[in-house]
Structure 1
């Protein structure tokens, strides 16, 4: 793609132009007595035009002046002298020179435009080949290698610096370098400037930089993905300036390719995460479903041993009771796993109805009578709570899980509070206790699967309760948060109120 002429040829063009004029003179000199001078002038003008098209503007101008001089010396009487016998020949010389200059200008301009068009065509073809090669690249290393091979044709040493961003894709951390030229700390600072400012940074005018480097930001449609560091192998500033559009086009192609690889990697990672999550949910669902049947049989057999007639000895009855209790606990765990799998797989259908929240509080406390028997339960429910649209069975599970956690993670005899109220278009419910609270720094993790409040808790549990609560509340379009308060902990959830049907509002009216 190097379209510049060697300096030796630039000088030789003037010699070639002079030789063309001399050859024209030698060729037409024998015809001096046979041809009219006007025809000889046309032959010299043809020589000037050939010089303009072939050799360029400068040699063509010299050829025009030299042609006038040779025509005067050899063809205008008196011959072999620059003297002019007839003053009209001065007009001939002027017209000949003017026509020669104009012809040389137009011919040279045509030649330059043709050369530029051919150069642009070559660059377009090369950029098309580069885009095709980059389209097949699968890694950043391949992108850097293809770019280096391409720019080596224009005598450029290339280093591709790919920005390492945070999870959000907007915070710059460090560069990953791909190239033969290792950048020093000062050069990396200029690369960061080009990345942050989205501007071209040149170091050719700086003292002590060694190799002059041009830093081109790789600006993709969404963000700046890196920097292209170009070190020319020559000190030709004009050539670098002429190559600037090509280099910017290469930087744009590299940026688009790097962004494509980034999104392809993100899509593949997301697809793998979805597949892994789907597999985990399927395993949980399958295990919990298959284990519930034998556990039910185990509970029945344990009850049979306890109630057997004649009765067994006290030790066997106690052992059968322990087996029954453990089977009940395992059955509860399997139920939680199955519910969690259904909620995550979105296979559960909400049976939502307009109903009072007070009934859920009452049914939940009755189910946990044995657990809450030794606790002081403080319930704060306003009398004017409106009807709420929710699934009673699932919301009962939420309240039971929160009350069970509040009882487990609080000292014996400590009070437990259940407080409900309305705020704007939300029903807000909080379940709190007096106890150690949630561990600091892990508030965002308590709703994850199999996450416990403490890393080595003394209280038995599986870490599914709060995860199930979050899934159920979010399925209702609500929100749930955990927080510490002075002397204890609290879990708050909110459900949208909506507008009950008119008939139900009339039934609730006193």
Structure 2
């Protein structure tokens, strides 16, 4: 009990005694005066929240009542049996009232403590919901214990034997270690070591530490399950991509090789009977198939470099006109189409890897040729902006469709065979995006002024002095 509780006892008894004396002078009876003392006893029990002070106040109140309000006055002698019974019943009633009041306060304090504990446990559970990664989960739990209890703690994982925090140093002087298991659904994940003073944790502290350990185990278990599923999904996607790549490569390599083998075999067998025009036509077919095969192999090699993070950009100052001219010569069948090139009037030089940008233009123009009919127009427009050069490849075909979110992903194709009978493996646009991004530019798609697809990419440029 505190000093202020005893002070409250003295002040309330003095106030009760003084008010009772005044009311007695006004003609108030003994029974009513005892009610005033009863109020004083209940007030003391309520203010001090203690049963024993209430009991002490009841006993002192009986003595004061006997001294000031029973005959003979100002003595502790009791002549009347009624007065004795009255004080006895008052004492019993005061004891019962004090007991009930003290019990009520204890229940109220327990309810408040339970409410605070429930809020704290809910806060702990909610705090781990949005925390991801092993490091963040463990550091969140350790920080929570430090903030709410004030004790240092470390976590040791069972499988990897790693200790968090990594740079932990806890002085063990005058401290002892309390260990709690961190368990998941099916196994023990690790151990939480709490460095406490040479004293036992109280009930609230023990609840909090156990709750943190439990929530840490649930969060870590959730993280491990998610990582395992994600790794499984990635492995399945990788295997699926490999299967698609091998199947597509086998199909696409076989087509030009069959054309080359067939044309060359026909020339060998009929060389003496063929005229010069027929031989030239067959040779042109062989060249077109070889060009297509070269583009396909180049895309595969570039995609391999991109996947292995080995795509090296060797920038040199290249003239736009030369790069465009080089790209156009590699497009099979472009000369038979309505094709238009628009270039800047002035000479523009751009720091770039010429071979890679040529490959980007080849992929975009070849894509336009494959997915449009022979009479559809195709345009290549190069314009000089304030800080960059913009390349636009437009066609009058059917467009890219409404869903363009995965258009630049690897192995994404329309599923349709091109107008030339060839079907790509879905690497061209993915390579274009990677190359342009490596040059510090951007690539987008949309609808062209011709009504078909539009692919636009930009490169930072440097003027030729």
Give the alignment's TM-score, normalised by structure 1.
0.45
The structure whose RCO (Cα within 8 Å, separation 6+) is larger is: 2
TM-score calculated relative to the size of structure 2: 0.49
